[in-house]
Amino acid sequence: MAGPSGVGTRTFSQHIADRQKGFPEARGEFTALLQEIMVAAKVISREVRKAGLIDALGLTGRMNIQGEAVQILDEFANETIIRNVGHTGHLCVLSSEENAEPIPIPDQYPRGGYVMTFDPLDGSSNIDGNVSIGTIFSIHRKRSSGTDGTLEDLLQAGRDQVAAGYIIYGSSTILVYSTGRGQGVHGFTLDPTVGEFLLSHPDIRIPTDGRIYSVNEGNTGRWDEKTRKVVAGLKGSDNPRGEPYSTRYIGSLVADFHRNLLYGGIFLYPPDAKHPTGKLRLLSEAAPMSFLAEEAGGKATTGRERVLDVVPKELHERVPLIVGSPREVEWAERILAS
C-alpha cells in the first residue's frame, strides 16, 4: 500500500541513490557500501527467521573475546558481514565484537576508503527464546596514509562517524540508518514478498520526553548511589514527569533502543560493581546508537560526557550508556554528574 513521500514503495537502494545525487562529488563508494550492508542484512534475516528449523540455534561451544558463549547464529552473521561487506573493495579494515583483533582485508581483495565496526548479532543470548535481536554498524573514513587500514583508523570518536545504523530482526526486519549532518534517521521494513527494504519510517524524531525507562534492575545492588537515585526517581515522582515511568527492558540493545527511539524514554546501562566502566562496547554499540539518537533529536551521555566525544583507546572498550529523549537524559545527567 503506497503512502506519502514514498512510504511503502521507496526502496532503501532508491533512497540512498537519491541522497547521493545531492552530493555531486560523491563517487558512489559509500552508497555501494550501504547497499552491501543491506544485502548482508537480508541474508542474516533469512537465517534468523528459520533458525529453529535448520538446527541453527544453540552454542558453537567456543567463547569470544568478551568471554561470552558464541552462538551458531553469531558466527554466521559475523562471517556473512565479513564476506559480503568486507571483501568488496570499499573498506580497508573491519572490526567485529566477535574478533579480538582488527579484521584485515585478505590480500586478494581490493581496499577502499572506509572503516567499519560492527556487532554482528547483538542480544544473541536471547536467540533461543525467539526474542528480537539485531545487527549494529558504524562507519568512519580511513585516516591513515597506507593502503591497509590500521588500528588508528578504527579508534575514532563517535562524532566522526559518517554513517551508523542497525537492523532489528523483530516482528518485522527493519533497517534504521543515518548519515548524520542533518540528513535524518530513516527506517525501512523488509517486505518478504518482494525481498526489498521499503521506506516505512522516514525522518524519525525521538519524542522530546517519554514515559518509559529501560534498565536491568537486577543490578541494583551493584550500582552506586547516584545511579540508584536516578532509577528511584524514575519509579517515583521525583522526576521530570512528576509520576512513575513504565519499565520496559528486553536485554537486547537494538530492541530496547528501537522502541525508545519511536516512543521516547530513557535507556541506561550504567557502570556497576561487575562492569565498572559499563557493559556496552563503545565502538560497536554505544557510539552508533548515540549517533542515531542525536541525529533523531535525542541525547546520549556516559553520565560524565557526551558519548560521541569519547575517543577510544582500545577496540573493545566499554562505556556507560544513558540514551534517549533529551528531557530524561539531561535530568539523569544532572544527577549523575553532581
Buried b (16+ CB within 10 A) or exposed e, 30-59: bbebbbbbbebbbebbebbeebeeeebeee
Q: Which three cell numbers stand for residue 138?
A: 558504524
Q: Which three cell numbers stand for residue 131?
A: 526474542
Name the DSSP letter for residue 285.
I
Contact between 35 and ligand AHM by CB under 6 A: the answer reads no
What's the distance, CA 99 to chain centroid? 17
Nearer to ligand AHM, 124 or 325 (CB): 124
Applying CB under 5 A, among 36, 98, 119, 256 the residue interacting with Mg ion is 119
Stretch that binds ligand AHM, among 77-85, 149-157, 247-255, 303-311 (CB under 6 A): 247-255
Interacting positions 184-223 with ligand AHM (CB under 6 A)? 216
Contact between 124 and ligand AHM by CB under 6 A: the answer reads yes
Stretch that binds Mg ion, among 12-20, 68-76, 114-122, 175-183 (CB under 5 A): 114-122
Alpha-carbon distances of 267 from 129, 302, 325, rounded to whole Å: 22, 12, 9
CB of 134 to Mg ion, least distance (A): 9
Rg from Cα positions in the chain = 19
Nearer to ligand AHM, 45 or 252 (CB): 252
The residues, ordered by sequence, that sit 6+ positions from 10 with a Cβ below 8 Å of its Cβ are: 198, 199
Applying CB under 5 A, among 122, 272, 328, 333 the residue interacting with Mg ion is 122
Nearer to Mg ion, 169 or 245 (CB): 169
CA angle (27, 166, 191) in 5-degree steps: 90
Contact between 122 and ligand AHM by CB under 6 A: the answer reads yes
Q: Which residues bind ligand AHM (CB under 6 A)?
A: 68, 97, 119, 122-125, 216, 251-253, 269, 279
